[in-house]
Each structure stands twice: as structure tokens, then as C-alpha cells.
Amino acid sequence: MVFLLLIVHFLLVPAPLASADDSERTGPVLKSVFSPSSVTIGDRIFYTVTVSYDPGQTVVFSIPDSTQLMPFVLLRKNTRHSGKGLSVFEAELALFDTGVHSLPPVSATVSDSLGDETVLRTSPESRIKVKDLTDSTMTELLPIKPLKLPQRSWIDYLVLLLIAPGVILVIFLLRSIIKRQRGAPMKPVDYRSEALQKIRELEKSIGDELSPGECYEQLSFLLRTYLEQQYGFSALEAVTGEIRSEIASRSVPGGDVLIELLDITDLVKFAESMPTTEDCRLSLDQAKHAIMGTSKKCHESR
């Protein structure tokens, strides 16, 4: 009786479930597949390698170089990381040798935050079969058939005669439109004249619409724009010291005065210098003479 009870107990009582620790991943897992399994010479082979690992780790894939990869040729490769412990390496290969071949191995280096690395290497167990482009059972060459010229009817020639005038008309219209849009050739831009015109506009606005501080701010932008356009170096984004070096390496008329004016605008902008309207008028006048090449020595901002 006791024996029967023990048998019933083992049959009815379920076995204890595996603990959570048993299901935890013991390390990264690498798998590889490819398709198709049989190709002709030069056909594409799609090779995919996946690795699953703990979140927080990083993965780097590597495949043999071209010499070790032969007779395979690597056409394209791509790596995708899901960010959730799964990375995929995809390669597109081609084979130019008949027979049965094993896919080249792919390595995956898994690194954790402490710098420890695990290198995994995989290659599909299955092999790929490569066949000839031609039928190997052929024993003799077939005769070459002569090319047949297409038979044209009078309707084909009529269509060509009707289309040709239309094509000629379209070409003529397009040429006329292009000539009209081009117009007269563009004249080279005179950046010096543009800068002088803007300085005259600032002179008219001082005192009424423009405060001395705003005047110096616009003067700084005007001079930097002129130097960048006229002499071809980045002045708008450069500091005054960099502009000084660029001017020193070039023959810039009035360059010393232009640098002194930029120094004054920096004092107004960053050192909270308090210029007067008269200071601003003098600076604008010196800027005009510097740009025209008849420099006058700069005054110091108050």
C-alpha cells in the first residue's frame, strides 16, 4: 500500500519549476544562416549572422579580408544593432568557383562596460553548391542562327515623319527659352562699392534711428562681411585675432585701420565701452577711407 501511495504522489505532484537563475543567459549566443543553398557562378548569396547578448554590452563583427575570403567575393555588408541585446550582421557574397563550399567564418567581439571581451566565431554547418552556367551534358556546339532584321511597314516611316517636325520645334522653343532666361552676362559684384554704400546709409541713420552702440555693432558686421566677400576668408565667424592674421598674410588696403576699427567694436560690444555719436561718425569716416585705400588713423573710443 505504501508503495502504491508513493507512485501516486510522484505522478500527481508536479515537478518544481526551474528557478529564474536557470533561465538567465550564460553568455552571448552567435547564430548564422545563408540562402540560397544552391547557385550558379556569380549569383548572389545572402549571409546573416545574429548575436544575442546582455543589454549594456557592445558588439563588433569582422569577416576575413578579400585574400582569405576567396573564392568568395564580398559585395556588400551591413550591421544593425537593436539596442536590446541583439545585433545582426548581413553580407551579400558571390562565388566564382564551381563545387561545394563552406561559408566564410564571421567573428563577433562582445565587450562589456568593464572592458572585458568575448570573441565568438561562427560558420554555417551547411555548405553551398555552385553550378556551371552552361549545361555540362552538352557534347557538341549548336549551329549559330543568323540574325533576322525586323520587318518595317510604311506606317513606321510615316510615324517618324510626323514626329520629326515636332521634335525640331520643341528643341527650337527650348533654346529660345534658355537664351531668354540667360539674358545679358552677369557683371562681377563690386563688394567695395557695396560696403561704401552701406556705410553712407549708417551715417544717415546715426542719432535719429541708430544709437552709437547699434552703430558699432552694424559696423562690425559690415566690415567682416566686406573682408569675407572681397578677400575670400571666413571673417563673419572668426574672432578679431584670426582676422588680424588673415589680413597680415594678404595685401589688404587699409588693413591696419580695419583691424583697429574691429578692436573698437569689440570694446563696445564686450567691454561695455560708451561711445558717442561723434565717435561713431569718425569711425565710419575712417572705415570709408580704409576701404577706398586712403586710410586715416583711427581714434580711440571713449
**Taking the chain, what is the end-to-end CA distance rounded to the nearest angstrom?**
115
Strand-strand pairing, 117-122 and 106-111: antiparallel
297: Cβ–Cβ under 8 A, 6 or more apart, which residues?
A: 257, 286
Instruction: For the chain, give every residue range classified as CATH 2.60.40.3670.
Output: 27-131
Instruction: Dump pLDDT digits (tens) for 265-292.
Output: 888 888 778 888 898 989 999 999 988 8
Task: Please name the residue that has the C-alpha cell 515636332.
Answer: 166
Q: Compute the distance between CA of residue 285 and CA of residue 288 in angstroms, rounded to an integer.
A: 5
Q: Compute the distance between CA of residue 7 and CA of residue 11 in angstroms, rounded to an integer.
A: 6
Are 49 and 31 contacting, i.e. CB atoms less than 8 angstroms apart?
Answer: yes
Instruction: Dump pLDDT digits (tens) for 78-106.
Output: 898 877 788 899 989 888 888 898 888 99
Are 284 and 197 contacting, i.e. CB atoms less than 8 angstroms apart?
Answer: no
Instruction: Dump pLDDT digits (tens) for 125-175.
Output: 888 888 877 655 555 656 777 777 777 777 877 888 888 888 888 998 888
| Mean per-residue pLDDT of the chain | 80
Burial class (CB in 10 A: 0-12, 13-18, 19+), 139: exposed
Q: What is the CATH number of domain 27-131?
A: 2.60.40.3670
Task: Please name the residue that has the C-alpha cell 552694424.
Answer: 218
Prior bond of 36 cis (ω within 30°):
yes
Task: Please name the residue that has the C-alpha cell 551591413.
Answer: 78
